[in-house]
Structure 1
Amino acid sequence: MTTTLYLASASPRRRELLAQLCPHFERIHAEIDETPRPGEEAVAYAERMAREKAVEGWRTVVESGLPVRPLLAADTTVVLDGVIYGKPVDAADARRMLLAFSGNTHQVVTALAVREGERMLQRTSITDVSFRALSADEIDRYLDSGEAFDKAGAYGIQGKACVFIERIAGSYTGVMGLPLFETAALLAEFGFSFP
């Protein structure tokens, strides 16, 4: 039975979530170009990002002479009406995103890839997230909290923005950045067992 893996992610939320499934993991640096390709749809984009992070992370494992064990990579993308919303570049960009989500339902796509040697498998979680209508004051207060700026779509479901979310259909942990059901199923293919 496998009990240790690598995580190719700097996200503190992914680390917290993964620790619920696998307390023994090591973070691996995997720097990639995250620019969407022209016309690339959100699911294809997220899946490509997860694959590229897994490939780059595995290169780090090999070049560093680290022990062979599974490597998990993930990418979370927010999409509304075919438009991909990444991490905001500034307050105006974050405000633009939150205004777009206000009173609408968008999707959060989290793609996973696990690689060990030449073997790589993927899974994807798609969750519908419905925001209630937001006032300009609410958006300003949220932006003042600083919480919006390191998250795709300019919000975190697990933080202050939880009061904006009327309902979700799908994976709560997927919206946070690591869908645990899909992660456990994928890791089981590499010898992990849960709970």
Structure 2
Amino acid sequence: MTTKLVEPGASPVGLILASASPRRLDLLDQIGVTPSAIIPADIDETPFDREMPKAHAERLAHEKAAKVAESKSGSLILAADTVVAVGKRILPKAEDERTARECLALLSGRRHKVISGISLILPCGKQHTKSVSTVVAFKRLSHEDTERYITSGEWDGKAGGYAIQGLGATFVRFISGSYSNVVGLPLFEVGSWLNAHMETHP
């Protein structure tokens, strides 16, 4: 007898999350999945020349999972990478105030896409990689909006310089697609994937 992995109280045995993001860990917890280990993958995340946002997100997720698999072969590994894009432009992670201000200026009053690449490596070694896109529209940000957000520090380390689950939610006037994807992990797709590809044992 087998059961679906993301039913309440069930978690995939031996799941390794290839990410140090506390947001992704919290999102997995929402669907009853607790990784047995968290092993961040250290890779170069610099976009290739003319690399499109979707391809970039999928490549990084694929490479992160594969990197962890080098030392953890035979394991169940989940990796993800989230990209914020304005048109074909990939916005950076905001590591300083200047970058955060530049990102907010680009996002102000316009739509953008949040694209998460997700990659799953099964114990047999087979790897599945895909991406999920969500459209988000910001209101036009005033000087006061920007300064309040910069002062909050919420932008630090965030792709595109904002987090939708915090103060940044006050900037969002429209969203089309997965909310959890914007936070960092598309739960519908991840949950469906786990249910489709894995089983727990009695």
Check whether TM > 0.5: yes
Alignment of 1:65-80 (within 5 A): 68-80=74-86
Aligned to 2:104: 98
> 2:163 aligned with 1:156, yes or no?
yes
Aligned to 1:54: 65
Shift of the alpha carbon at 1:192? 4.7
Q: 113, 118, 121: which one pairs with 2:119?
A: 113
CA contact (8 A) 2:95 2:157 kept: no
Aligned to 2:38: 27
Deviates more, 1:179-188 or 1:19-28: 19-28
Gaps of 5+ in 1: 63-67
Aligned to 2:9: none
Between Structure 1 and Structure 2, the one with more helix by share is: 1
Q: 1:192 to 1:11 in 2, by over 3 A?
A: farther
Normalised to the residue count of structure 2, the TM-score between the two structures is 0.89
| Structure 1 residue runs of 4 or more that deviate by more than 3 Å after TM superposition | none
Aligned to 1:65: none
Q: 1:192 to 1:108 in 2, by over 3 A?
A: farther
Aligned length: 188
Q: 1:192 to 1:174 in 2, by over 3 A?
A: farther
Q: Matches of 1:86 and 1:192 in 2, distance apart?
A: 37
Aligned partner of residue 128 in structure 1, secondary structure: strand
Q: Matches of 1:22 and 1:114 in 2, distance apart?
A: 18
> 2:187 aligned with 1:177, yes or no?
no
Q: Matches of 2:146 and 2:69 in 1, distance apart?
A: 40
Q: 1:20 to 1:69 in 2, by over 3 A?
A: farther
CA contact (8 A) 2:82 2:115 kept: yes
CA contact (8 A) 1:123 1:186 kept: no
Aligned to 2:153: 146
Shift of the alpha carbon at 1:24? 2.6
Shift of the alpha carbon at 1:35? 0.3
Q: Matches of 1:188 and 1:31 in 2, distance apart?
A: 28
Question: What code does the residue aligned with 1:77 have?
Answer: V
| RMSD of equivalent CA atoms | 1.4
Q: Matches of 1:29 and 1:172 in 2, distance apart?
A: 24
CA contact (8 A) 1:8 1:29 kept: yes
